[in-house]
Structure 1
């Protein structure tokens, strides 16, 4: 059943800003050899852009990025994962990227769960691994179980535990919002426990800071939002240096809610798909396909 957004706001501050972000995404995706766009999809009323990178014979994986991190930032990880399996990248509506610019103001988890449920049969006719990072993982947990889902891999997941209160992260976020640039973007990434320094991700975060409206860190899912995934294999992983949802925060919730442990990835923070894609590839391979 469709879950309408009771209220929404455009993620972009201006049409020119939207064009700048979309151009960056199109350029990065076009530069990835073998990456192809699917025709525009409407899932639960939300325009969605999906790209596919053909790969090995393993179970395909549908990758859902975290808040503020469009699919175009994951081309490096996609190339690595595609050595084993086809990779499907979907931009979440209401987040910077190529999908609908309308962001829900209320009922966000339920809206993303309904969107994912409607999206699945339009991008695959065989079971896939759902790989959700941060907000993408919350979308997975809020969607109903489906015969099109082989298993779940939740990386730095939002929704299982409330984010850590970190004054350093708050200061870095405020500085980035006030003066988005390479330095403040790099400091923000570092405050997440990620690889601080110049590079494509810092360039992307500068674009997002300049042209997109502020978003909140996803919080704890409410009971009515959390779907019963018992019976579906699930793996939870996070970086040892994650300053948003640390291993200590996740362990109890993962055991209580999903009956699983937490894989702790050394030398990684909140951006495991960017920092440690080889370890993500290994977790997918351990899943049996």
Structure 2
């Protein structure tokens, strides 16, 4: 099989098929989930899935950092108790959307600008996790955005340099074994009970390590890339155990750039939508209240 361009997340055509097939199988098992098919946003084929829900404002979930739609079906069900849920995999990340990476973080914002009118005619809350938050921050304010919840957000600050995470990440990139994948995920998560075995996402991490190029968390966005979200409710949150986007790291830029404090999710690391969906649901209710 030919090797794909470095601008693509997959190392090979066979690797792309393997990752997409895994995602499709997981998504296909969820009978309460529907697919809008592939919409083309900013020239990038994008898969969007929907889940019916309660009467509150719908949410568009944009995930990043090891979490795609196929990993967040359980979280979507928690959020759907309040509201309809839309989930879109970002381009250039492992999942079901376009494999090409934007050349700059603002490219995610261009993609989101194009995506919104294709998937909704009513305002939604944009829930951006990690790189998904960078997409939200660099999108143009729109009547289709009722507010934003940014969780473990990339873009507000450069990720912290955590030695344990860096060692685990390097070991996983060199040799993406089951053990290395579980160790990496443990550095991205809140501490788990002793004797609980491999991290539940280890199979996914092993698959991604074998077939995908590294997807670093975006650093600090340039000043001109930030949009003015004045007048829209914006809530920022991160995990108490997040080694990359720590509460201390995010506090000052969140106040300076967005006029808000940082909510700390006690039982979560950098994978908060997966680890603590009930707390994310509660934070969405805060966005509702404006």
TM-score by length of 2: 0.93
In 1, are the aligned partners of 2:57 and 2:125 still within 8 Å (CA)? Answer: yes
Change (3 A) 1:200 1:36: farther
Identify the residue that residue 154 of structure 2 maps to in structure 1. 158
Structure 2 segments unaligned to the other structure (5+ residues): none
For 1:121-270, list aligned pairs within 5 A. Answer: 121-194=117-190, 197-270=197-270
Larger deviation, residues 190-199 vs 150-159: 190-199
Identify the residue that residue 283 of structure 2 maps to in structure 1. 283
Separation of aligned partners in 2, 1:26 and 1:221: 32
Separation of aligned partners in 2, 1:137 and 1:183: 29
In 2, are the aligned partners of 1:236 and 1:263 still within 8 Å (CA)? Answer: yes
Query: Residue 153 of structure 1: SS of its match in structure 2?
Result: strand
Change (3 A) 1:194 1:18: farther
Identify the residue that residue 15 of structure 1 maps to in structure 2. 13
Query: What's the offset of the Cα at 1:38?
Result: 0.4
In 1, are the aligned partners of 2:10 and 2:211 still within 8 Å (CA)? Answer: yes
Residues 150-192 of structure 1 deviation map (CA, whole Å, 9 limit, x = unaligned): 1100000001011101111110001111111221111111112
Number of residue pairs the alignment of both structures matches:
281
In 2, are the aligned partners of 1:195 and 1:275 still within 8 Å (CA)? Answer: no
Identify the residue that residue 48 of structure 2 maps to in structure 1. 50
Equivalent residue in structure 1 for 2:107, among 111, 121, 126: 111
> What is the aligned-residue RMSD (CA, Å)?
1.4
Query: What's the offset of the Cα at 1:279?
Result: 0.4
Larger deviation, residues 218-227 vs 195-204: 195-204
Query: Residue 30 of structure 2: SS of its match in structure 1?
Result: coil
Separation of aligned partners in 2, 1:84 and 1:204: 28
Structure 1 segments unaligned to the other structure (5+ residues): 1-6
Separation of aligned partners in 1, 2:6 and 2:120: 29
Residues 174-226 of structure 1 deviation map (CA, whole Å, 9 limit, x = unaligned): 11111112211111111123466525411111111000011222100001111
Query: What's the offset of the Cα at 1:281?
Result: 0.6
Separation of aligned partners in 2, 1:17 and 1:69: 18
Separation of aligned partners in 2, 1:84 and 1:123: 19
Query: Residue 9 of structure 1: SS of its match in structure 2?
Result: coil
In 2, are the aligned partners of 1:128 and 1:151 still within 8 Å (CA)? Answer: yes
Identify the residue that residue 60 of structure 2 maps to in structure 1. 62
In 2, are the aligned partners of 1:273 and 1:280 still within 8 Å (CA)? Answer: yes
In 1, are the aligned partners of 2:156 and 2:220 still within 8 Å (CA)? Answer: yes
Separation of aligned partners in 2, 1:156 and 1:9: 25
